[in-house]
Amino acid sequence: MNRPLIVANWKLNKTINETNAFIEVLIPLAKDTNDIDIVIAPPFTALHSAHLALKESNIRLSAQNLFHEDKGAFTGEISPLMLVDVGCNYVIIGHSERRQYFQETNEIINKKIKAALKHALTPIFCIGESLAEREAEKTFDIIRIQLAEGLKEIKPEGIIIAYEPIWAIGTGKTATPEQAQEVHNFIRNWLLSFYGKDASKIRIIYGGSVTPENIESLMNCIDVDGGLVGGASLKADSFAKIVNYRRRKS
């Protein structure tokens, strides 16, 4: 297993004040967690204040999206350059909600991953199948296409894959550890055949109704290197329990 990574995806939640209040509670609760990487992804408007509040901590900052150009006439967009400027180290790319509500295709996602890497931002590249696709036994076909098109002409260094079965996002329906491991193992093998042995270092994290109760069983899977947490990351004490899953055990 690679060094674990736990990411909080706040989606369209939290004002600046709420972000600062969350961070104030989280920092002391997460300060002894030195054996995993902890990342929070607030909305764009709270990134600057989050950066200032996290400065002396072991918690890093992510954006939830970016545009692939550095600058220009693209009203309403945010560039990788701006994310670096505001203190981000990571960026979530290709979340299923962006694919579903904002028509992001694998081709667009590929451009975004390239743009992030160009500016040394670590892309958290999301992939996953819908319920209909799983029921039609198309999970591996969908994952294969998303990987091949999303990672086209991209080197393995500095990428993170987030496997997020769409049917498990925000539904309270977590994939069982066996279901998660099966797909993570498929992704690992695909990466190994695409990139060679360096791919063993690529972190593959799981997202989809991760909670303080199920994190440990998911993290016990050999190919699960971490979690991307939505709903359960909105309360600092709940997210702190997730990042402290190892310490709670001992």
Query: Between the CA of residue 162 and those of 57, 174, 232, what are the distances in Å?
Result: 24, 14, 17
Residue 207 in the binding site for ligand PEP (CB under 6 A): yes
State yes or no: residue 208 binds ligand PEP (CB under 6 A): yes
DSSP, collapsed to helix, strand or coil, labels residue 162 as strand
Return the ∠ at Cα 238 (arms to 232 and 244), rounded to 5°.
115
Question: Which token pair is 80?
Answer: 């990788």
User: Is there a catalytic annotation at residue 164?
Assistant: yes
Among 19, 64, 181, 209, binds ligand PEP (CB under 6 A): 209
Residue 74 C-beta: closest distance to ligand PEP, Å: 25
Q: How many residues bind ligand PEP (CB under 6 A)?
A: 14
Applying CB under 6 A, does 121 fall inside the site for ligand PEP? Answer: no
**Locus of tokens 């190994």:** 192
194: number of Cβ within 10 Å: 13
- In whole angstroms, the minimum distance from the beta carbon of 139 to ligand PEP comes to 17
CB-CB neighbours of 86 under 10 Å: 16
Displacement of CA 184 from its chain's centroid (Å): 14
Strand partners for 228: 7, 207
Q: Quote the least distance from Cβ 200 to ligand PEP, whole Å.
A: 24
Q: Of these residues, 68, 95, 97, 184, which one is catalytic? A: 95
Q: Among this protein's residues, is 129 annotated catalytic?
A: no
What is the nearest approach in angstroms of ligand PEP to the Cβ of residue 52?
A: 25
Residue (185 or 238) nearer to ligand PEP, CB: 238
Identify whether the C-beta of residue 207 lies closer than 8 Å to the C-beta of residue 164: yes
User: Contacts with ligand PEP in 145-204 (CB under 6 A)?
Assistant: 164, 169-170
Contacting residues toward ligand PEP, per CB under 6 A: 9, 11, 164, 169-170, 207-210, 228-232
Question: Would you please indicate which residues are annotated as catalytic (active-site) residues?
Answer: 95, 164
